Chains A and B, each alone.
Chain A
Amino acid sequence: MSDEENATNSPEQPNAKLKQSLSGKIAYLDALENAVDQQNDRLIYELLDPERYHTDISSTNDQIKSGYFNLVDDVRSQISHYLSYQLIDYLAKLYPFFYYREISEGEFKILFGNWWDRREFGYLDVLNLEFQYDKDEYQKLSDTFGLDANNKHLNTEKIAQISEENKQLQELMTNQDQRDQRKAQLRDQLQDTSNNGSFWESGKVKEERQALKDELTKLTEEDQKAVDAKEKMRSNEDRILALSKEDTILSYEKQSIKQAFGSFEAFTNHSKKLYSDYLTSLIGKEQVRADE
Chain B
Amino acid sequence: MSDESLNPSSLTTNGRLVAYSQSVKAGLQHGIEFTKLFDQLTNTTDPNELLAASTSLFDFQMDTEYVVYPHKYDANDYYLIFMSRLLELHDDKEAVLHSREDNLKADTLFQTFPNIDDTEEFHFEQRPNQDGAFYVEQNSHQVIFSLNLKEKTMYFNSDTITKLFITEWSGKSDNAAVSDAVDLFIEFGKYLVSDFGFNVDFNMLDAANDKKYVLAKADLSDQIMDKLFVVTADNQLMLQNMDEVQGAFLDLGNQIIFSLYKQNGADGSAHWVMTVQDPKEQYSLFDIFNQFAFLKKWFLDNLDDLQIGSKMV
Contacts and interface: CB of A to CB of B under 8 A. Distances in A.
Partners in one complex: yes
Contacts of A116: 225-226, 228-229, 239-241, 248
Contacts of A252: 233, 238
| Interface secondary structure of A, over-half rule | helix
A101 to B, nearest CB: 10
Contacts of B223: 238, 241
Contacts of A113: 241
A116 B238 CA distance: 8
A241 B230 contact: yes
A241 B240 contact: no
B227 interface: yes
A193 interface: no
Contacts of B240: 114-116
A244 B232 CA distance: 12
A66 B240 CA distance: 46
Residue among B225, B228, B241 with max Cβ neighbours from chain A (10 Å): B241
B233 A117 contact: no
A248 B233 contact: yes
A163 interface: no
Contacts, number: 38
Nearest to B238: A115
B244 to A, nearest CB: 13
Contacts of B239: 115-116
Contacts of B233: 248, 251-252
Interface in A229-258: 238, 241-242, 244-245, 248, 251-252
Nearest to A244: B230
A245 B223 CA distance: 10
Interface in B80-106: none
Nearest to B233: A248
A117 B241 contact: yes
A118 interface: yes
B302 to A, nearest CB: 12
Contact of A248 (B222, B229, B241, B248): B229
Contacts of B228: 116
Contact of A241 (B227, B238, B241, B248): B227
A241 B298 CA distance: 13
Contacts of B230: 241, 244-245, 248
B201 to A, nearest CB: 30
A115 B241 contact: yes
A248 B248 CA distance: 16
Contacts of B222: 117
Contacts of A115: 229, 238-241
Interface in B225-268: 225-230, 233, 238-241, 248
Residue among B222, B228, B233, B248 with max Cβ neighbours from chain A (10 Å): B233
Nearest to A251: B233
B131 to A, nearest CB: 44
Residue among A115, A251, A252 with max Cβ neighbours from chain B (10 Å): A115
B229 A245 contact: yes
Nearest to B234: A248
A117 B248 CA distance: 9
Residue among B225, B238, B239 with max Cβ neighbours from chain A (10 Å): B238
A117 B229 CA distance: 9
A246 to B, nearest CB: 10
A113 B239 CA distance: 11
A111 to B, nearest CB: 9
Contact of A245 (B226, B238, B241): B226
A252 B233 CA distance: 9
A245 to B, nearest CB: 5
Interface string A172-214: 0000000000000000000000000000000000000000000
A218 B71 CA distance: 73
A117 B228 CA distance: 12
Contacts of A114: 240-241
Nearest to B248: A116
A117 B233 CA distance: 13
Nearest to A249: B229
Contacts of A238: 223
Nearest to A245: B226
Contacts of B248: 116
Nearest to B225: A116
B232 to A, nearest CB: 9
Nearest to A118: B241
B117 to A, nearest CB: 35
Contact of B226 (A117, A118, A251): A117
The 9 closest A-B pairs by CB, nearest first: A116-B239, A116-B229, A248-B233, A116-B248, A244-B230, A245-B226, A114-B240, A248-B230, A116-B241
24 contacts: A113-B241, A114-B240, A114-B241, A115-B238, A115-B240, A116-B225, A116-B228, A116-B239, A116-B248, A117-B222, A117-B225, A117-B229, A117-B241, A118-B241, A238-B223, A241-B223, A241-B226, A241-B230, A245-B229, A248-B229, A248-B230, A248-B233, A251-B233, A252-B233
Interface of B: 222-223, 225-230, 233, 238-241, 248
Given A115-B229, A115-B239, 14 more contacts: A115-B240, A115-B241, A116-B239, A116-B241, A116-B248, A117-B225, A117-B229, A241-B226, A242-B226, A245-B229, A245-B230, A248-B229, A248-B233, A252-B238
